[in-house]
Amino acid sequence: MSRRPIVLLPEALRNQIAAGEVVERPSSVVKELAENSLDAGARRVDVELSRGGLALIAVQDDGGGVPPGELALAVTRHATSKIVSTADLWRIATFGFRGEALPSIASVSLLRMTSRFPGESEARYVEVENGRLRDEGPAALAAGTRVEVRGLFQSVPARLKFLRSEATEARRCQDILMRMSLARPDAAFSLTLDGRESFRLPPGQDLAARLARFWPPAVCQGLRPFDFDLDGARARGLAGDPATAQGRGDRILCFVNGRAVQDRLLTRAARNAYQGRLLTSEFPQLALFLELPPDEVDVNVHPAKLEVRFRDEGAIFSLVRRALLQALEVMAPTAFFETPPSREERESLAAPSQRALPVEPPKFGSYREFRSSYGESPVAPFSAGRGGEAQRPADPSPPRPQSPSAASAPVSLGDSGLTYLGQVADTYLVLRTPDGLALLDQHAAHERVLFENMRSGRTRGESQPLAVGLELDLHPSEAELLEEVGADLRRLGFGFREAGAGRLALTAVPPGLDAGKAMEYFRAAVSGQSRNLAGLWTMLSCRSAIKAGDVLARDEALALLSAWLDCPERDYCPHGRPALVAFNEADLEKLFKRK
């Protein structure tokens, strides 16, 4: 190839290259335009999209407007009214400052900006097509600014190929405007998609009211406020109850000085604060607002300013962590304990005034209740070990020992080679193995049993019709998710039908679940806490399994052991935690330093 001389690129091409960074997809345009509106002091921002923003993106505000003489400059690269010096870069109080957005957008679309500056007798517009000023003149607009972007990326088909479906692009626009509206609950926002109103948020709402429009009621009810100061930095917001956690991280919303950011440090700090309260597959839900002196954070490290850099990462991490812990400590304990509660905690939970756990797993009063919880025929009787009386697990009402771990003799478990010795710490079942000793975590083991029952079809498909359908209101976000998980829910035994706009009637529930509990699970599934069948099984089994800290009578323990021994993959619970920890003779010798 023959060498070409070095030339300065034409202005339009330079803008297209810059557009590659700032204008990735329709939602980037929505973000830039709405930010300009807020920077101009707008109290209301109305956004209209058609065909996911590909045909039209229009953003109109009631802000300060642009003087007629500056309109053409507004769409010129590196032209901004927001900073004038390098020092200003370190005290940025506006969303924009690079002077790149309008010219970048205008280089890959047909952009028309109309603005009425206070005191002017009329509004004016400029029109730029693919980077070339096409037209300007007087226009009709009572106040503020309206920017219309048509045919985004039509002139650069290569960029169109990177876009997803119109519905997905529309959802991203919705998401970005939602985030902005949370940072500015004082301002009004509206979004219209193809002529249909998607949301309309009145001015002067508080954060909780705004979130209630976007997050399911079950999640919003559990939100707790936090507000924490440390060395001149502040972290405030709302934190979700761990009991309503979901398997996705899309409800971790972080803002730094009012700017929505996706920041790994903040996400890590949040997950760290929730550690021990969530399973590893679960994510917390929160809206976190960090307020820092402007020179503590560099916002000029990402063209779309989605990422930021903190001067003192360690300080930010501990600020966020401590702020969230403040909210979490006032919350009720979660439905399952990663670590067993202390005796005092258990006693205080048993007090009648404190019995209202968010989700209370069934506690099996008797062997029969225990067995019927997963609807199976009784186990083959186990034979008693040396010196023991044979227990008859199939007996419909076995005597319940006063203290289950005392008075009880070893029982050998069929031909498994295992002998049940007793329960310790109200959590572990102690087993003698052919060459040593093993501890079985009763919660993990029961989860595995319930999970296998669902997976093997013992639960799947069966369903228990309700005499009277239970009606429930569906939040728009829940209705959307129901379309995705509906088939899975039916396979699990749920039956349901539409009962008017935004309402649903639950007509059948999985066997072994009472209507109230079934309703709770159904809600959890449609509020996004679990996306696929295995996830739902895991959740159902976790929520229904006996807990660490539950005293098990010997017949209850034996029933659990028998069902657990039948499970494939029985050494692990469905989340992947070990259910069984074994010590063979060599391990024991090592522990006692005999070797």
* Interacting residues toward ligand ADP by CB under 6 A: 32, 36-37, 40, 61, 63-66, 74, 79-82, 96-102, 145
Quick check: helix, strand or coil at residue 185? coil
Contact present, 360 and 550 (Cβ < 8 Å): no
Nearer to ligand ADP, 26 or 242 (CB): 26
Q: Is 104 in the site for Mg ion (CB under 5 A)?
A: no
CA distances in angstroms from 560 to 384, 423, 447, listed in the order given: 17, 12, 10
Compare residues 27 and 463 and give the one whose CB is closer to ligand ADP.
27
CB of 200 to ligand ADP, least distance (A): 20
Query: Least separation, in Å, of the C-beta of 100 and ligand ADP?
Result: 6
Residue 256 C-alpha from the chain's centroid = 19
- With CB cut-offs between 5 and 8 Å by kind, which of Mg ion, ligand ADP, none does residue 145 bind? ligand ADP
Task: Return the residue matching tokens 């517009």.
Answer: 125
Please report whether residue 33 would count as binding Mg ion according to CB under 5 A.
no
Could you tell me how many residues of this chain bind Mg ion (CB under 5 A)? 3
Task: Give the length of the chain.
Answer: 595
Q: How far apart are CA 206 and CA 272, in angstroms?
A: 27
Q: Is 323 in the site for Mg ion (CB under 5 A)?
A: no
Query: Of ligand ADP, Mg ion, none, which one sits near residue 81, judging by CB under 5 to 8 A according to partner kind?
Result: ligand ADP
Within 10 A of 207 (CB to CB), how many other CB atoms are there? Answer: 17
Q: Which residue, 37 or 562, is less far from ligand ADP as judged by CB?
A: 37
Binding partner selected for residue 47 from ligand ADP, Mg ion, none, CB under the kind-specific 5 to 8 Å limit: none
Q: Footprint of Mg ion on residues 461-500 (CB under 5 A)?
A: none
Select the residue interacting with Mg ion from 16, 36, 104, 190 (CB under 5 A).
36
Nearer to ligand ADP, 65 or 574 (CB): 65
Q: Indicate the residue whose CB is closest to ligand ADP.
A: 96
At residue 496, φ and ψ (nearest 5 deg) are -160, 155
Q: Which is nearer to Mg ion, 94 or 477 (CB)?
A: 94
562 binds Mg ion (CB under 5 A): no
CB 79 within 8 A of CB 73: yes
Contacts of 274 by beta carbon, 8 Å cutoff, 6+ apart: 242, 245, 284, 324, 328
CB 68 within 8 A of CB 211: no
CB of 41 to ligand ADP, least distance (A): 8
**Shortest approach of ligand ADP to residue 95 CB, angstroms?**
7
The beta strands (E) that lie in 4-53 are given as: 44-50
Q: What are phi and psi of 127, to 5 degrees?
A: -130, 130
Question: Which of Mg ion, ligand ADP, none does residue 63 bind to, with CB < 5 to 8 Å depending on kind?
Answer: ligand ADP
Residue 264: count other Cβ atoms within 10 Å of its Cβ.
8
Q: Which does 76 bind (CB under 5 to 8 A by kind): ligand ADP, Mg ion, none?
A: none
DSSP assignment letter at 490: H
Laid out side by side, the sheet with 259-261 consists of 224-230, 233-239, 286-291, 252-256, 259-261
Burial of 431: CB neighbours in 10 Å, binned 0-12, 13-18, 19+: buried
State the minimum distance, in angstroms, from the CB of residue 12 to ligand ADP. 16
From the list ligand ADP, Mg ion, none, partner contacted by residue 114 (C-beta under 5 to 8 A by kind): none
Closer of 35 and 282 to Mg ion (Cβ): 35
> Which of residues 17 and 591 has its CB atom nearest to ligand ADP in the complex?
17
The site partner of 64 among ligand ADP, Mg ion, none (C-beta below 5 to 8 Å per kind) is: ligand ADP
Site for Mg ion, residues 154 to 183, rule: CB under 5 A: none
Q: Which does 74 bind (CB under 5 to 8 A by kind): ligand ADP, Mg ion, none?
A: ligand ADP
Q: How far is the CB of 458 from Mg ion (least distance, A)?
A: 59
Q: What radius of gyration do the chain's Cα atoms show?
A: 31
CB of 175 vs Mg ion, minimal distance in Å: 19
Residue closer to ligand ADP, measured from CB, 38 or 323: 38
Contact 474, 482 (CB under 8 A): yes
Smallest gap from residue 28 Cβ to ligand ADP (A): 12
Q: Which residue is nearest to Mg ion (CB)?
A: 96
Q: State yes or no: residue 303 binds Mg ion (CB under 5 A).
A: no
Residue 99, contacted partner among ligand ADP, Mg ion, none, CB below 5-8 A by kind: ligand ADP
Contacting Mg ion within 261-290 (CB under 5 A): none
- CA torsion 566-572-576-581 (nearest 10°) is 170
Distance (Å, whole) CA 212 – CA 475: 10
Choice between 69 and 387, CB closer to ligand ADP? 69
Among Mg ion, ligand ADP, none, the one that 110 touches (CB under a kind-dependent 5 to 8 A) is none
Nearer to ligand ADP, 101 or 492 (CB): 101
Q: In this complex, which beta carbon is closest to ligand ADP, that of residue 128 or of residue 269?
A: 128
Least Cβ distance, residue 290 to ligand ADP (angstroms): 22
The distance of closest approach from Cβ of residue 266 to ligand ADP in the complex, given in angstroms and rounded to an integer, is 24
Nearest by Cα to 529 from 248, 250, 223:
248
* Residue 379 Cα distances to 217, 394, 449, angstroms: 42, 7, 14
109 near Mg ion (CB under 5 A): no
Least separation in angstroms between residue 255's CB and Mg ion is 18
Q: Interaction with Mg ion in 74-103: which residues (CB under 5 A)? A: 96, 101
Q: Which is nearer to ligand ADP, 145 or 190 (CB)?
A: 145
User: Do 328 and 242 touch, CB atoms closer than 8 A?
Assistant: yes
- Of the pair 96, 404, the CB lying nearest Mg ion is at 96
Q: Cα(508)–Cα(510) distance, rounded to whole angstroms?
A: 7
Distance CA 547, CA 394 (A): 23
- 96 and 175 in contact (C-beta within 8 Å)? no
Could you give the CA distance from residue 559 to residue 391 in angstroms, rounded to a whole number? Answer: 11
Residue 519 makes CB contacts below 8 A (sequence gap 6+) with 470, 472, 506, 509
Interface contacts to Mg ion, rule CB under 5 A: 36, 96, 101
